């Protein structure tokens, strides 16, 4: 090893879902929304003035923050926005998890958490989910340097009620508790209502899933003014112009169309419930999803075999070769037509498997 190589930071990176590009593919592996963003987003892109792109955007994404404030009825000073919820969460790790005590999060959850912990040198401890992939809230009563929970959880799809989350927050008055709600709009119950009671709580959401804007990279967090100002101070010391101008104006426009947002989420929920019925008939089992995906295992055929078969048919789902979940597939809910094709292919394969 050369001397300069000894000074490099070595880390095992997060591995994002595959982004295939086939004209006939059905892409059900990265939990994207199968429907386009609100119509106003396309209109805003057409009307956008090119000279604006020559200027730095407002560093606080003022237009977007004001619209979030109006829609959620919370003061702008209690809102942080970033480049997708990944950026928001990374800033939270850098700002809020600075103790020598380990932060806590489940052993089966969003696989970026341990990557950020390693990257920012945050001590951490993973807490095993129970046999049904559920969080045991009592496991979070111990001393810690912070808690982060995805609710609903990914990849398990299980959501817990606000009183369950509140119990964890209540038992951690000396730590920051982060609730990552990327999938909350597909049937979960947000911890947003707890923000008035707990100044150590952060609730993080995203435009990527329910608002069909994964390509725009917009995430946001709600919390106490003290927490939000601290996160902005760190962000501004790192990069004060993180969110681009198109994302700011298109994000604000998307928030205004509440009817379209609700219509799309309801369509996905209806398709999810129909898909559950079809998969049960084929011998699959899964937790009761509160997300835009299903976490499934088959009674006879290994997940790895099904994953490979589907891939050959250009139907892409997510397979995690990891302890406890290596016999499960995560299947994003697509359009009715996409899910019907998935069921058709599975039915044909399982008939002879």
Sheet holding 318-319, edge to edge: 284-285, 293-298, 329-332, 318-319
Cα 94 from Cα 223, distance rounded (Å): 16
Residue with the larger pLDDT of the pair 241 and 187: 187
Torsion angles phi and psi, residue 193, rounded to 5? -65, -15
Convert the pLDDT of each residue in 190-240 to its tens digit: 999 999 999 999 999 999 999 999 999 999 999 999 999 999 999 999 988
Cα 178 from Cα 167, distance rounded (Å): 13
Q: Has this prediction a pTM greater than 0.85?
A: yes
pLDDT tier at 125 (50, 70, 90 boundaries)? very high
Convert the pLDDT of each residue in 49-93 to its tens digit: 889 999 999 999 999 999 999 999 999 999 999 999 999 999 999
- Which tokens hold the place of 165? 């989350």
- Which tokens hold the place of 218? 């917009």
Among 4-18, 96-110, 266-280, 301-315, which is the least confidently predicted range? 4-18
Average pLDDT over residues 111-133: 97
Strand, coil or helix: what is 177? strand
Instruction: Using CB atoms within 10 Å of the CB of residue 50, give its burial: 0 to 12 exposed, 13 to 18 middle, 19+ buried.
Output: exposed
Q: Which residues contact 43 (CB under 8 A, 6 or more apart)?
A: 253
Q: Which residues contact 13 (CB under 8 A, 6 or more apart)?
A: 115
- Does the CA dihedral 27-31-32-38 come out positive or negative? positive
């Amino acid at each position: 090893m050369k001397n300069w190589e000894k000074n490099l930071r070595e880390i095992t990176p997060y591995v994002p879902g595959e982004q295939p590009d086939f004209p006939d593919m059905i892409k059900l592996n990265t939990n994207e929304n199968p429907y386009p963003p609100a119509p106003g987003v396309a209109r805003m892109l057409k009307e956008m003035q090119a000279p604006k792109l020559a200027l730095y955007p407002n560093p606080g994404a003022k237009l977007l923050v004001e619209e979030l404030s109006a829609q959620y009825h919370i003061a702008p000073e209690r809102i942080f926005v970033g480049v997708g919820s990944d950026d928001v969460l990374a800033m939270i790790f850098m700002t809020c998890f600075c103790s020598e005590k380990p932060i806590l999060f489940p052993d089966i959850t969003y696989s970026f958490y341990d990557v950020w912990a390693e990257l920012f040198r945050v001590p951490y401890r993973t807490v095993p989910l129970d046999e049904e992939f559920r969080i045991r809230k009592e496991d979070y009563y111990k001393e810690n340097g912070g808690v982060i929970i995805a609710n609903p959880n990914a990849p398990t799809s299980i959501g817990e009620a606000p009183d369950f989350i509140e119990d964890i927050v209540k038992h951690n008055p000396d730590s920051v508790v982060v609730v990552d709600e990327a999938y909350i709009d597909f049937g979960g119950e947000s911890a947003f209502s707890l923000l008035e009671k707990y100044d150590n709580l952060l609730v993080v959401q995203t435009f990527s899933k329910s608002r069909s804007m994964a390509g725009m990279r917009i995430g946001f967090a709600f919390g106490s003014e003290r927490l939000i100002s601290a996160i902005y101070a760190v962000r501004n010391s790192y990069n004060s112009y993180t969110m681009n101008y198109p994302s700011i104006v298109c994000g604000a426009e998307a928030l205004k169309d509440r009817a379209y947002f609700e219509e799309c989420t309801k369509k996905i929920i209806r398709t999810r419930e129909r898909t559950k019925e079809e998969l049960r008939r084929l011998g699959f089992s899964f937790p009761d999803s509160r997300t835009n995906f299903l976490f499934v295992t088959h009674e006879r055929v290994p997940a790895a075999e099904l994953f490979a078969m589907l891939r050959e048919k250009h139907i892409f789902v997510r397979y995690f070769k990891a302890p406890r979940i290596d016999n499960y597939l995560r299947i994003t809910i697509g359009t009715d037509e996409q899910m019907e094709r998935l069921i058709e292919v599975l039915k044909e394969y399982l008939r002879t498997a």
